[in-house]
Every structure is written in structure tokens, then in C-alpha cells.
Amino acid sequence: MIQLRNLNKVYKGAQGEFHAVKDLNLDIREDDFYGIMGLSGAGKSTLIRMINRLEEPTSGEIVVNGENILEYSEGKLREFRKKTGMIFQHFNLLQSRTVEGNVAFALEVAGWDKKKIPERVEELLNLVELGDKARSYPAQLSGGQKQRVAIARALANNPKILLSDEATSALDPKTTKSILELLKNLQEKLGLTIVLITHQMEVIRSACNRAAIMDRGEVVEVGKVEEVFANPKTDIAREFVSHLAPDEKDEVELVKVPGRKIVKLSYMGRSVEKPLISQMIRRFDIDASIVAGSIDKLVTESVGHLILELSGEKQDLAIEWIRDHEVGVEVIYNG
């Protein structure tokens, strides 16, 4: 659906040039709920804003449905933007218009027949479960309700693509969850391709099927969400996915003993079918005791985490061996 090819963005300012997106390649499929994650300044906003040309790339190609949108004329670009909805962190609603007025605005701008607008607005507000707030003003709504209005507005012209620029970052965890649930339902119902950027792993975990991790303008990791969770390959990805739960931290503090490493293994549901731990123990003549364990439920699969304390001379070899079996290994105490 969306192919980004050798995409670059260089900002030119008073202090010189800044390379915000570097030679970036991504393939986003039609039925993807695609998450792009990175720390502040990684280039996520720049990237997502290039997909609908709110930001012009310095070089590269953006191919959507087989067409390079960078070659579009003004008129074609306007049509394309109608088919590409976008939602933002701060909602960007018109404060002087009611909820229905905000949604109607998107239709007015797109040149809809005035008589057909009220019916379409009602349909859109029902879609985001906000029919009862049609006459309210944005200032009278909660953050979650404001984002629902913004979603209704973004969907007004039946887009095929929805871009979400940190749309849940200003919301509390419960509201975030309900907005992500709504987006997932809308994706299925309307056959949308959703591209979302976030700095919260939690968002990727509960909504996306695929993810890319950006670091300093580059994509450093990409894949199915469960793969990224179970086997993060770069330090930045490991940092994102493997922070310990508070109670795990306490357990680890209790068992630290010099000479014994504490490792966190992360594995996908199916890789535990093999008796890996018992093989590791026998093969390398080591002991392993369980310190803690947990399971992350993702959209498509579950990822398990097991914290083990190892003892024995061949701990390092054992760690390398288990890493070769599609199990992520993080050494959290190098005793």
C-alpha cells in the first residue's frame, strides 16, 4: 500500500543543515496497523508528515498504491489528501464550532453537497460513538472525546489511509486503550491502513501488528510486533521492550550473587515447544533457577519473559547458545 524508498529529509536552518530522516525504506501493507516508534527527535513526525506531503522530502520516493505521490500535480495531491486522514496529539479542533460543526467542516472543504452533510456527520459521529455530543463545543469534552471528534473528521471523506501523529500521547492510559480499541475496530470495519507514530511501547503492544523502530532518522529495526518484542536486535529496541516490571526489579535485587549471571529470556509462544532450558542446563553443565516470569499479550501473539539466575562455568556459552535459538537474551546482572 505504502512504499517508502530511500527517503531523506534535510532541514536547512540558520545553524546549518539537519538530516532528520536518513535513507529510509519501509513497506506498509494494506491491512497493517503499523507502528513507528522512537525517542523524541528520532524523526517520526517528519516521517509521517511526509506520507501525506505536509512535509516535502528532500529526496526519495513515496509510492502509494503503485503511484509515486511526489510526482502528483496540485489537483491530484488534493484528491490524495482527501483519501488520507490524519489525527494529532492535540486534536486540532476548531474551538468556535460544535462537534458536528467540526466534522462538517471537513466535508464543506471537500465540496460536499450541503444537503448531504448532516446525514454524513451523524453517521460519522455514530461511528466514533459520540452521537450524543453533536451540539457540544470542544471545550466541553474530555480528551478522549475530542480525539473521537478528530477521528470522525479524519474519516469524513472515506480515506483508505489513516495517519496518527502521537494521537494518544496526551491521554491517560484508560482513554488511550479505548481510542486504540476504536481505531482497531474502525480499521476492520472500513478496511483502513493505519500508520501510527508513538514514543510509547504500550501503544504498539496493544494496537499494532507491525512495527519499525527509529533512531536518529534511521529505521534500526522492523518486523512483526511479536518478533520485535521477543527478539529485539538493537540496544534502542531492547531499551523499549525490556524494561523490567517493578516487582521483577525487586526480585533481581534480592538474588544478586557474584559469579552468577541473571538473564532475561524473551520468547514467542511457539519457541517454548522445544525443551530449550533443560537442554541448555545439560549441555553446558549449569544450574538455572527461576527468579521471575511474565507474559506480554500482543495483538497477534504472546511473548513470554523468564528471568533466570545462572551458575556454572559455561554461562557465557550457554547464553550464546540460547540466543541462537530465537530467544532474546538480556543480561541484567553480570555477576
Ligand X SMILES: Nc1ncnc2c1ncn2[C@@H]1O[C@H](COP(=O)(O)OP(=O)(O)OP(=O)(O)O)[C@@H](O)[C@H]1O
CB of 329 to ligand X, least distance (A): 29
Binding flag, residue 20, ligand X (CB under 6 A): yes
* Interface pick for ligand X out of 41, 304, 312, 335 (rule CB under 6 A): 41
164-203 residues near ligand X, rule: CB under 6 A: 199
CB of 225 to ligand X, least distance (A): 19
Binding flag, residue 44, ligand X (CB under 6 A): yes
* Interface pick for ligand X out of 1, 11, 58, 136 (rule CB under 6 A): 11
User: How far apart are alpha carbons 206 and 28 in whole angstroms?
Assistant: 18
Nearer to ligand X, 12 or 174 (CB): 12
CB of 131 to ligand X, least distance (A): 33
Nearer to ligand X, 50 or 106 (CB): 50
CB of 234 to ligand X, least distance (A): 16
Binding flag, residue 42, ligand X (CB under 6 A): yes
* Interface pick for ligand X out of 43, 57, 138, 144 (rule CB under 6 A): 43
Yes or no: say if 326 and 274 are a contact pair by the CB < 8 Å rule: no
* Interface pick for ligand X out of 2, 26, 46, 206 (rule CB under 6 A): 46
Binding flag, residue 211, ligand X (CB under 6 A): no
CB of 172 to ligand X, least distance (A): 19
Binding flag, residue 17, ligand X (CB under 6 A): no
User: How far apart are alpha carbons 284 and 295 in whole angstroms?
Assistant: 27
CB of 153 to ligand X, least distance (A): 22
Summarize as ranges the residues that interact with ligand X (CB under 6 A): 11, 13, 18, 20, 38, 40-46, 199
